[in-house]
Amino acid sequence: MGSSNAFAGDEDVAPMRDCPMPNIVPCLLFEDDHLLVVNKPPGWNTHAPSPYAGEGIYDWLRHRDVRWTDLAIIHRLDKETSGVLVFSKSVLANRELTRQFTARQVKKQYLLVTDRPVPAAPLRFTSHLVRDGDRYRSQPPGRPGTPAETVFRPSESMGERTTVEAFPATGRTHQIRVHAAAAGFPILGDPLYGGTPAARLYLHAASVTLRHPATSQTVVFCAPADWDRDPAQALRGGFIAPDETDAYRVIHGAADGWPGWYVDRLGPFLLSQSEGQLTGDQKAALERWMAGMSVRGVYHKQRDRRVRSSAPEDVAPQRVLGEPVSGDVMVRENGLCYAVRFDQGYSIGLFLDQRDNRRRLLTGHIAGGLSAYPDGCKGVEVLNLFAYTCAFSVAAARAGARVTSVDLARKYLDWGRRHFAVNQMDPDGHDFLYGDAFDWLRRLAKRGRRFDLVLVDPPTFSTSKTGGRFRAEADWPRLARAALAVLAPGGWLFASTNAARLEPGRFLDQLTAAAGEARRRVLDRHYAPQPPDFPICRAEPAHLKTVWLRIE
């Protein structure tokens, strides 16, 4: 996503330097000790709408880096609106910018596109806004409601579409959308207010002008609109740094406008999944993305509810475009390397929805104000249960921890050793234990082993000769109690499930109850939903529930 900072020509305007680490978070426009400015992509809330919903950009940033722990929201953009969003980082900035916004001293310029006739002359629209369900109604001044004022100025016409500048003097929810509709030119892609349906809401916060809270100099932050970019790819482009990560979800079903269809990028390949064969529209989209992302080939896998009882060769994805895959496909995630395979049946060897949790292991930063390694990683002991191909183990080991990985399949532990090797780490410096997790927890507890961090991410359903049958909805309390028996005092328990019937609140209650039954107490807790490339909506509810618990 392109971005730039533009400044007025008078001497009172301070030239802001670009963010010193542009590749860490691509949407960052500017950062100093007081301000953090981003170019918010469309399709991302400013903040989480509810406790267990997906993170907004504010939540994601605040929990990503220790220097953003004190981030505060100064103003907001609608989920589907893109553009310049300013956060404060200091008490001074929070106080001063709040004063400027309240006093209407901050100048905001938006761009919108409409396919309806627009008056040639600038238009000042003043009304009172009243909430009406999910939308707002515009009423004449003097009627009940909150006063709102917007100035519109047409800037460019291209065929039947006109780009309009909008300058809101007030900052009411949906203000520009309501006023544009009431003025007779609803925004393209805004059917809530009578606009023609489109791929996205054509509303963009192009610039914000304010006085710097520390220097009092006038500064302007700008970001150009990119109407042509696919909104799903614009969202990913806002937070995926391509130099560090090339494995992520490209399309997440109904949340990205493609019900029942899921597409992942895996390094130089795309992997498509649905319950049926590809449609013409889906294949055309894959061809566009293949060219735009410079990938070499595309595979498709038909999802089958009976897939776990099928032979790997019967459910492996099939090539539909480009080059064939041969052996390991090397992908990057948070600067680490992993080998995925397309010939192993149901799974490729890496669960992409755990990327942010692996980053937490890598950095030791769990959330704002919470660190897994407050005294450094040296001597930290980590136990990774249900380790699969040891992706969590690799991230923890890269941070400096010593890791014990447990899994019921030898081939996955061997795969995990390869992951250590491709990241230039000696697997012999860590333990790989083959067998049932419950059995190993009993053995480790009997030996008096204690771990500073225990990672528990079991399958929704599994069976083993020694552990018997495990069902996540019913057996998580038993598993949590067994894991707590080997967790050192003050250690962290990471618990994860994608069991559809296990609601987040009930999951957390089970873990808290298990701690009480073990005569342990939860000291700190951070609930981490699935990452933003797995967006959540009513038609595509959350599947992943993860929580970090520090236990007394």
Cα torsion for 532, 533, 536, 541, to the nearest 10°? -130
* Residues with Cβ within 8 Å of residue 158, at least 6 apart in sequence: none
Q: What Rg, from alpha-carbon coordinates, does the chain have?
A: 25
Written as six digits, the tokens of 289 are 């993305």
Residue 24: CA count within 13 A, CB half-sphere: 13
Residue 386 near residue 456 (C-beta atoms within 8 A): yes
- State how far the Cα of 198 lies from the Cα of 176, in Å rounded to an integer: 18
- State how far the Cα of 286 lies from the Cα of 270, in Å rounded to an integer: 8
- State how far the Cα of 263 lies from the Cα of 274, in Å rounded to an integer: 9
Among candidate residues 18, 65, 70, 78, the one labeled active-site is: 78
- State how far the Cα of 303 lies from the Cα of 240, in Å rounded to an integer: 27
Q: How many Å from the N-terminal Cα to the C-terminal Cα in the chain?
A: 45
* Residues with Cβ within 8 Å of residue 364, at least 6 apart in sequence: 371, 372, 373, 377, 399
The 3-state DSSP class for residue 150 equals strand
Burial class (CB in 10 A: 0-12, 13-18, 19+), 537: middle
Q: Phi and psi (nearest 5°) for 299?
A: -120, 155
Known catalytic residue at 78: yes
- State how far the Cα of 363 lies from the Cα of 373, in Å rounded to an integer: 9
Report the residue count for the chain: 552
Q: Phi and psi (nearest 5°) for 355?
A: -55, -45
* Residues with Cβ within 8 Å of residue 50, at least 6 apart in sequence: none
Beta strand 269-274 with 297-302 is parallel
Written as six digits, the tokens of 7 are 């400044």
The 3-state DSSP class for residue 112 equals strand
Interior CA angle at 254 toward 316 and 298, to 5°? 35
Of the candidates 54, 42, 49, 40, the residue with the CA atom closest to the CA atom of residue 536: 54
Q: Looking up tokens 């407050």, which residue turns up?
A: 374
Residue 210 near residue 97 (C-beta atoms within 8 A): yes
- State how far the Cα of 426 lies from the Cα of 68, in Å rounded to an integer: 34
Task: Report in angstroms the alpha-carbon separations of 113 from 169, 177, 202.
Answer: 20, 11, 5
Catalytically active residues are: 78
